[in-house]
Structure 1
Amino acid sequence: MDAGLRAAEIHPSSIVADGARIGRGVRIGPWCSIGPEVVIEDGVHLIASVIVDGATRIGPGVVCYPFTTIGMAPQDLKYRGEPTRCVVGARTVIRENVTIHRGTATGSGLTQIGDDCLIMANAHVAHDCTLGNGVIIVNNVVMGGHVSIGDHARIMGAAALHQFVRIGRAALVGGVCGVEADVIPYGSVLGNRARLVGLHWIWLKRNGVQSDEMHRLRRAFRALYPRNMDDESTAFSLRLAAVRAEYGGDAKVDEILDFIEAPSRRGLVRVAGGGAGLVETDGV
């Protein structure tokens, strides 16, 4: 018997296939199913009725609640059983009924979730998605394939993310948002069709951003997205260049500008009607 299996606590009703690698201190509750290519690292707790399949690695200290499935085949009609992967980072918590699918050969071949994430009940992480560290996905969020979510982003309940959308670091997506385009780092979007309404100021304050840096971010954001967006006399590309010239060198401003200038399949989320304003949006 594998040394890891001897050191694990496995309920007799669960099935662990030959070839699966199980770390020390792993607890596998009743009615779980572990596939032959799965690697479960030390200290993982599968509470009950969890299915892990495919070439999937579960990082140390992960907790999976009942009726979650990880590493199952993607919902992509082009998928023909090619060998692809799924990785869940350390200490991530996955709540009830979450589905996380492995990648596709026509995509990156990898679905990856970072460390210290929280994925709440009934959420779906599609094939080839990438979630950074510390991401929070609230109940009933769904995402299409190839979505990229930066570190510490918050996606609120019942939001829907279009395939290939990029969500920048520490951005906030409001509840029941339909997000069809990219959200800048620290951006905050609201609405049935997501519109940029400001920056995620509460997160910035809670995470130690000093007042002088907040003021620079505020001024740079106002320059990029003036309150009167009806005036198109200054093209966005010119505003972008002007902000780069005036505020370049500030790490967070540069991060926003680099994100905007990076290649995108979906473009940027549009600003709310009448200008972005500076809404003091809260979040978890």
Structure 2
Amino acid sequence: MTRKTIACLFFVACIAGLTQGCGSGGQPPTGHGSSAEQFANWPSALDNFRFHWTSDPEVPLTTGFAVPIRAYFESWYIASWTNNAEAVYPGFLRATPESDDLDGDYLGQLAWVRPLNGRPGYPTEPVTPYGFMPVHIQSVEPIDNGLRVTVCEGQYAAFLPSESAPNQMISLAANKQTGELRDPLDTVLVNRIELTQNHPRIPAGASDVDTPQEGPAPAPVGDVFGHWFITGASSSLWGPVDAKPHPDFFVTPDMRRQCQEAMPDSPETQIEMATGFKDNPPPHGQPIPGWPLAPQ
């Protein structure tokens, strides 16, 4: 397998959720007023979409390392959907490394560590998401100089207007042409994110937010990355692209199955929600746990 082929595969894995129905063929429901007018750092294109986070009981979602994990993950999708690499939460750019150049001997965890490979406008169209995305912090383990966090991403409840079925919606998890799942486990993605509190690019005066980060806002008002730095992130390839005997595409069927079972909806419900073209997306509800309305 050539490096070019690997890069293409990795690109597909990273943006699969962004291209399952791009375009304006549908006429989805609209919200009441613009979220951008009500909430800082939340674009109006995401008026009818929210993130819903959960975690194991021993992992608090509103304090500690989970706060920059949430901010990183949400920023990545917002910038990707809006096709604007700078449409990220405050502090994102100083708390992440530059993406690796895909033409060289890059590392999988740095290929798309910034959305759109860090470019102002990657060759993809902005999209308008609807519904919600359940996201679950599955596991945390210490590694040299930091933490490795496994984050489960439920794509089944996030929808885009369909190109092939006018006035209907399609789940990010489904094939955009047929509305079917290629694999029953495709309702979820597995993400690995690594971060550290020991990095030269962390500002000397940086400190973590000292109040729980929860509230009615879908996005934080200020910088919530504190003294954390993201060192790598991927949902596919980890390590050198030219590793021998082959690159490490680390996600296994068992990891996907565990993530599917960690979602708030049963696997059967996920498959039903994700399959076929829908007249309407599921209600987006409130952000969980959300962010404070003012810096705290």
TM-score under structure 1 length normalisation: 0.24
**Which one has the bigger strand percentage?**
1
TM-score under structure 2 length normalisation: 0.23
Greater RCO structure (CA 8 Å; 6+ sep):
2
**Which one has the bigger helix percentage?**
2
Find the structure with the greater CA-based Rg: 1
